Structure 1
């Protein structure tokens, strides 16, 4: 079996629950506020470890990130590849979730902007590994990491979110590109259908000619569901599962994630 190596972002999220999202210029009262670990990279690493894969995280935190690293370690994630920065804070995000479980997110880059591809040097990338990337890191870092992983025969999995049309060149190196239906339309024909894995919420997901149905649920919060999908898919591929098996496990994990608030919850650390 290979490893899942997530090169990505760590954010400390402030989640605000509201009845409905405010209109421009409007103030609404929050029903509650909660601080939780987040960032697409951290979410995906936690999901991969939960799915049983040997998981390594490569990223960066500030002095305020020690609790997050302990949290990941408690979940079985190797954080030896994380850079500690003393002059900048850990990434942050404000997440607003309404009564329907729909969310909007504002992100502050923080230490995520300090991640470098050279942090991979100590990992000895090899065939069988799955390297997972998102678009919350600098363009040049993603491009170099994908190139390194491809040269070493690792599977390159990219979740190009938050979407940026100017950053699609790196997708040519991807073996798997995970997008939602809106992002798939924006992507067009940049990647082949065999590479493209499309998540469709309650309709499940499809990957090339394969598909997996989602169970019927009443979502509480969709925050992090896509990351849970991506991390689980990466884990199943690293463990040697078929594409169909990986797709089914990823859909089930993403659906389960919609039944609780927040992308992650702090472990007792």
Structure 2
């Protein structure tokens, strides 16, 4: 498929302000750790995937909601700067969603998400074209994801994270589901899915069709700075790779390369090159 003749990837999902404390290690229950470094940056699984898609493909479309506050305006500015169309992002009186994140020296993290305006995402006035691809996640209401899957006549992909029980209707509707290895174990319904991509961190990724492995690609070595946006970058890259006509193995390998690039950057919405550069790199 010629990417120049296709619509930009549409992402339905969350938009958060990430407030990040970086420390030497993660605290245990009830423990206080000093000498942390505080930062803030754009985040949310949906926004991360939209920003990655725009950088990899030149454009993307975002469906979501932010608060009518400084944080919301900051998040929209970041998406627009990445090349994302935010015309379908609603402004709500509820504060913009916020994620509180602790990251250790190895890039591992603990995250608490406060949904805010993400809990008020709606599809009023949003149209879907048959020839566009929609990618969603589960940081917005499951009912909205199901509604989008029903209304969209074309290709529908779901990053089933955070893990939760999925209705059979949604699993059967999805053309593609993407999860990490932990989520794959926590969502038994995925065994009934037509196509599931599973990421294994440094060990790469695999693709399962009707529960049977049909493709696998090795991981790439990378210096880990921040893992928060790596899975989101993988999702955008893999969906775009399949859209552009790559084989299953090529799409997995290119997405692994994008994820490896992402973990080496501090931002949850890392600077990425065009997808074709990652294809030729592997």
TM-score (norm 1): 0.90
CA distance in 2 between partners of 1:168 and 1:72 (Å): 33
SS of match in other structure, 1:251: helix
Residue 63 of structure 2 is matched in structure 1 by: 58
SS of match in other structure, 1:118: coil
Q: How many residues align?
A: 259
Alignment of 1:49-198 (within 5 A): 49-52=54-57, 54-64=59-69, 65-85=72-92, 87-121=93-127, 124-127=128-131, 129-149=132-152, 152=153, 154-165=154-165, 169-192=169-192, 194-198=194-198
How large is the Cα RMSD of the aligned pairs?
1.9
CA distance in 2 between partners of 1:63 and 1:135 (Å): 23
Higher mean C-alpha displacement, 209-218 vs 40-49: 209-218
Structure 1 residues 98 and 75: CA distance shift in structure 2, 3 A: same
CA distance in 1 between partners of 2:28 and 2:150 (Å): 42
CA distance in 2 between partners of 1:147 and 1:3 (Å): 20
1:113/1:137 contact within 8 Å kept? yes
CA distance in 1 between partners of 2:44 and 2:65 (Å): 11
Residue 243 of structure 1 is matched in structure 2 by: 248
Measured against aligned partners, the alpha-carbon deviations of 1:41-68 in whole angstroms (never above 9, x if no partner) come to 0000011111115310000111221121
CA distance in 1 between partners of 2:206 and 2:238 (Å): 12
CA distance in 2 between partners of 1:156 and 1:262 (Å): 27
CA distance in 2 between partners of 1:60 and 1:119 (Å): 13
CA distance in 1 between partners of 2:201 and 2:9 (Å): 24
Structure 1 residues 63 and 189: CA distance shift in structure 2, 3 A: closer
CA drift at 1:191:
4.0
Residue 29 of structure 2 is matched in structure 1 by: 24
1:53/1:238 contact within 8 Å kept? no
- Greater relative contact order, per chain length (Cα 8 Å cut-off, separation 6+): 1
1:41/1:134 contact within 8 Å kept? yes
Measured against aligned partners, the alpha-carbon deviations of 1:119-167 in whole angstroms (never above 9, x if no partner) come to 423xx4222x211110101111010001112xx1x21110111111256
Structure 1 residues 262 and 132: CA distance shift in structure 2, 3 A: same
Q: Which runs of 5+ in 1 are unaligned?
A: none
CA distance in 1 between partners of 2:167 and 2:48 (Å): 22
Structure 1 residues 265 and 246: CA distance shift in structure 2, 3 A: closer
Structure 1 residues 225 and 167: CA distance shift in structure 2, 3 A: farther
Q: Which runs of 5+ in 2 are unaligned?
A: 1-5, 209-213, 272-282
Structure 1 residues 141 and 54: CA distance shift in structure 2, 3 A: same
CA distance in 1 between partners of 2:21 and 2:165 (Å): 29
2:10/2:62 contact within 8 Å kept? yes
CA distance in 2 between partners of 1:80 and 1:109 (Å): 21
